[in-house]
Amino acid sequence: MKGGGSLAPTAAQRALTGEPVAGYRPPGRITGEAPGRVQAEDAGLHRRRLSVARPYYSPSPPRIFPAPACSTKSGGAEGSRTPDLLNAIEALSQLSYSPDRWVSYQNCEQADKCLSAIRWAHMLSSHRTDTGGLVPASAADLAKAIRSKQVSSREVIEEHLQRIEAVNPKLNAVAQLVAEDAMRQAADADEALARGELLGPLHGIPFTVKDWIETAGVICAAGRLERRDFVPRRDATVVARLRAAGAIMLAKTIDGIDNTVYGSPKNPYDLSRAPGGSSSGEAALIAAGGSPLGLGSDSGGSIRYPAHCCGIAGLKPTSGRVPLTGHFPRINALSDPRTQIGPMARFVADLALVLPLISGPDYSDAGAIPMPLEDWKLVDLRGSGLDMTGNVIPRGSGLNLTGGGAGQPPVRIAIFTEFAGASATQQTVATVRKAATALQDAGAEVEEAVPPRIEESLPITRAYWRRVESYSWNEWAPDKEKHRLTPEEIERSVFEWDRLRRAFLAFMRRYDAILCSVAGGPAGHGAAAAEEFIFTLPFSLTGYPCVAVRAGESAEGLPIGVQVVARPWREDVALAVGRHIENALGGWRPPWG
């Protein structure tokens, strides 16, 4: 967001008290006052609406951060307005926000401290209210706050459980809630921190899990009546790794739109609409503040499409990056190289936080590969040799494959909004082009280009769906009575699939990333047809990493996401491009007060 002039202390104080301030839009609250609609009510300070222009290499947008200079404590709005906070407001008012001056700063530490003090104080002052409290914070910010003992893990877990209790009757997003166990683990985490023991980078942070991913001691029905009482004996690898990083599981979330065990989840932005499938409850609950992050899975778009429908961020990693051990239906690299487990969150930075924690071989999934993961913060969109914080990227780092390093070309991005058999609404096309403009303004090289043979993706996928697969890894347990393909059709399907992959590889030789829509329009009513996944299916077949991030909204106020696709193993590029779009266009917007 561009801005000029200065922000007077009176304006900042009016923002803290909820009074209208030009240039910011307060969040809304989920209500049941109108059937099937999410109504907005003015409530508190919107975390992204103070008018501040920031350079593309800024380390972070204005957000809720622990503020070292602010010693505020929870205890009511009046109690939060300490001299430190007022000093922060005064310091903020002294900064001139003309674009020319702002871009001259190589780092934004002074403004970040001021904004952090204001937002953190406001968040703590509203801690026990229905205006958001700790709920809007990112997982990374909550982790910092817990480590610095500004809040306890117990407080964080308790507030998210309260949020689930408030929104789940409307959303029907939760399959299994483990509140007592979560509170016990939170108490253990706080005791460990008091002893000086840090459990990991996610110490005391809540997370949720799609009900296709198994969790020890908690029912994993996977939407099937025959599994409605099935209790796994061990965690899926990804769940075990998040626990080992200190995270605390709150709930299993409902998979799919027409779940035969738990019913249909709802979209928090419009309760008459679906949240997208099949990581449906996961996306809805994260968007509504019941969880800061979670785990989903994606075969043809089942992370990306719900993220788009619910206005959050989601990452489908490169095929082979994350082990699939403990996923149901059982997946392996030979029978289904499309399906991947990946993180979902409100903020792209949280996807980047989780990815290295769940990546790498587990010596059970034969398809998991020990591939190094590049640092997404070192990706330079403009090819200047500077990372997003303004630091010099070391020569020979290989961070950008067509650009990067001093004197090298900028990151090259292909953009398309349609192809044979695929089209999008006018608002969706405008959103993609707005994201492209933001990337171009940041120095990336953007051009129109459509990957060859992309129109073959849906027929190839339809043929794949007709194949017989096994429900078990260890025994042949077919999911269909017989094959619906002849032997020749099977071989032809594999041939066409491989031909598509080779065509895309040749195309990606010229580009670092692709920018396109996630779907043809915003969230719809009921289960989506196969054609709704036509923009996501190609990149499932190729196994490329993809980030979905909110970049706009429809006339009805529904989120519209865009999809950033990178070369194989270049999640760092997809994350960096997605983060810039999030910063430039706003990203997640709360559907509650």
Q: Which residues contact 553 (CB under 8 A, 6 or more apart)?
A: 311, 522, 559, 560, 589
For residue 180, give the 3-state DSSP assignment: helix
The per-residue pLDDT for 388 is 59
Q: What is the mean pLDDT of residues 390-402?
A: 53
Cα(401)–Cα(477) distance, rounded to whole angstroms? 43
Q: How confident is the model at residue 297 (pLDDT cuts 50, 70, 90)?
A: very high
What DSSP character marks residue 299? S
Rg value, the chain, Cα:
23
Burial (CB < 10 A; 0-12, 13-18, 19+), residue 262, is buried
Please pick, among 60, 126, 210, 457, the residue that the annotation labels catalytic. 210
Residue 319 is a catalytic residue: no
Q: Which one has a higher pLDDT value, 408 or 401?
A: 408
Per-residue pLDDT band at 592 (split at 50, 70, 90): confident
Sorted by where each starts, the structural domains of the chain and their CATH numbers stand as 1-133 (no CATH), 376-585 (3.90.1300.10)
170 is known as an active-site residue: no
Query: Cα–Cα distance between 214 and 212 in angstroms, integer?
Result: 6
The pTM is what?
A: 0.79
Q: Is pLDDT above 50 for 593?
A: no
Among 278, 280, 297, 384, which one carries the catalytic annotation?
A: 278
pLDDT in tens, 138-192: 999 999 999 999 999 999 999 999 999 999 999 999 999 999 999 999 999 999 9
3-state secondary structure (DSSP) of residue 362: coil
> Could you give phi then psi for residue 495, rounded to 5 degrees?
-60, -45
Cβ neighbours of residue 222 under 8 Å, at least 6 residues apart? 211, 212, 255, 328, 329
Cβ atoms within 10 A of the Cβ of 475, count? 7
pLDDT digits (tens, 9 = 90+) for 465-510: 888 878 777 888 887 777 778 889 989 999 999 999 999 999 999 9
Residue 372 has pLDDT above 90, yes or no: yes
Pick the catalytic residue: 302, 384, 457, 493? 302
Higher pLDDT: 248 or 51? It is 248
Evaluate the CA torsion angle 135, 136, 142, 148 in order and state its sign. negative
pLDDT of residue 385: 61
pLDDT(67) > 70: no
Which tokens belong to 142?
């909550």
Q: What contacts 90, CB < 8 A, 6 or more positions away?
A: 9
Sort residue 542 into left (φ over 0), alpha (ψ -120 to 50) or beta.
Answer: alpha
How distant, in Å, are the alpha carbons of 376, 412, 451, 468, 573 from that of 508?
19, 10, 8, 32, 13
